[in-house]
């Protein structure tokens, strides 16, 4: 039977690995979220540009008919001018012709402008579609990474949690509770003694205390400076030792 401190040290090793796993996965969901927002943003730009292009195309499809209609109307009004009975009627028709002609010229100008506008917008659309494709690619990669990590991690997490449970059954409840309490402010709540110092805070341990720590391995000694539990070895046990320890 190994001393309780050894099992606690194994729990500390498991916790260190669990913390690492949580850190690995920690960044990814946030990155996936940001990538998803980026895709939505690029998608909105593409949709907007496409709808403007559609509007211009629809205008161009209609414009020739509109221009022809305005021409016909102008023609009819000009013919009516030959049949007027007085100057007042003649002037009224002249004003109407001017209005129709101005409208036709406006549509013709807009039709000419729409060529350049379309060219510019299509270039913009192409850029936006490329950016959207890049954003979608990035999102897909991140989602894939998260998925892979999660499935690998789930397996490891479950194994570690199972080991941790088995080890904790070998410990007195107060001991584990004390360790958990220290862990709320020092994630590495149990540390090896290295070069006669606490390897958590690097403060020296007096020679007399060192002797005590090494002699009473069934007792718990805490660093007088930082409060971490001191493990009287140069290093913590290896994770690989767990299987044997709980066998
Ligand atoms: Zn310390």
Provide the pLDDT for residue 150.
Answer: 77
For the chain, give every domain's residue range.
26-165
pLDDT at 103: 96
The alpha carbon of 205 and the centre of ligand 1 are apart by a number of angstroms equal to 9
- For the whole prediction, is pTM greater than 0.85? no
pLDDT, position 153:
79
- Rounded mean pLDDT, 187-193: 95
Output the CA 178–ligand 1 centroid distance in Å.
16
Q: CA-to-CA distance for 210 and 220, rounded, in angstroms?
A: 12
Query: Of 150-159, 164-173, 221-230, where does the model show the most confidence?
Result: 221-230
Ligand 1 centre and the CA of 185: distance in Å? Answer: 12
Ligand 1 center–CA 186 separation, angstroms: 10
d(CA 193, CA 153): 31
pLDDT (tens digit per residue) in 47-83: 999 999 999 999 999 999 999 999 999 999 999 988 8
- CA 218–ligand 1 middle distance (angstroms): 20
How remote is the CA of residue 169 from the centroid of ligand 1, in Å?
27
Give pLDDT, residue 55: 96
Q: What is the mean pLDDT of residues 84-102?
A: 93
Other CB atoms within a 10 A radius of the CB of residue 168 amount to 17
User: 7 CA distance to ligand 1 centroid (A)?
Assistant: 20
Nearest of 187, 230, 183 to residue 209 by alpha carbon: 230
The band of 145, judged by pLDDT with boundaries at 50, 70 and 90, is confident
pLDDT of residue 78: 93
Fold that domain 26-165 belongs to in CATH: Helix Hairpins (1.10.287)
Angle (nearest 5°) at CA 190 between 187 and 195:
120
* 187 Cα to the center of ligand 1, angstroms: 13
Does the pLDDT of residue 20 top 90, yes or no? no
What does the pLDDT average to over 87-116? 95
CA of 200 to the centre of ligand 1 (A): 5
As a whole number, mean pLDDT of residues 7-27 equals: 89
pLDDT per residue over 167-186, tens digit each? 999 888 888 999 999 999 99
DSSP state of 2: -
Q: 4-81 and 87-168 are packed helices; what angle lies between their axes, rounded to 10 degrees?
A: 170
pLDDT for 243 equals 87
Averaged pLDDT of the chain: 92
Ion ligand 1: residues, CB < 5 A: 198, 200-201, 223, 225-226
Span from the CA of 221 to the centroid of ligand 1 (angstroms): 11
């Amino acid at each position: 039977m190994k001393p309780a401190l050894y099992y606690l040290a194994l729990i500390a090793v498991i916790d260190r690995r669990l913390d690492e796993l949580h850190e690995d996965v920690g960044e990814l969901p946030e990155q996936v979220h940001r990538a998803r927002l980026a895709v939505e943003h690029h998608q909105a730009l593409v949709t907007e540009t496409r709808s403007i292009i559609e509007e211009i195309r629809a205008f161009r499809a209609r414009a020739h008919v509109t221009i022809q209609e305005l021409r016909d109307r102008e023609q009819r009004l000009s013919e009516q001018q030959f049949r007027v009975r007085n100057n007042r009627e003649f002037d009224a028709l002249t004003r109407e012709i001017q209005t129709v002609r101005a409208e036709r010229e406006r549509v013709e100008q807009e039709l000419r402008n729409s060529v350049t506008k379309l060219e510019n917008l299509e270039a913009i659309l192409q850029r936006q579609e490329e950016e959207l494709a890049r954003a979608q690619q990035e999102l897909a990669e991140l989602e894939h990474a998260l998925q892979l990590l999660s499935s690998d991690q789930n397996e490891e997490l479950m194994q570690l949690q199972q080991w941790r449970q088995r080890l904790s059954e070998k410990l007195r409840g107060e001991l584990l509770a004390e360790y958990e309490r220290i862990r709320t402010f020092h994630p590495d709540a149990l540390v090896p003694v290295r070069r006669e110092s606490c390897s958590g805070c690097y403060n020296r341990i007096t020679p007399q205390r060192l002797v005590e720590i090494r002699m009473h391995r069934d007792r718990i000694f805490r660093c007088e400076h930082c409060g971490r539990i001191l493990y009287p070895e140069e290093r913590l046990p290896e994770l690989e030792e767990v299987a044997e320890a709980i066998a």
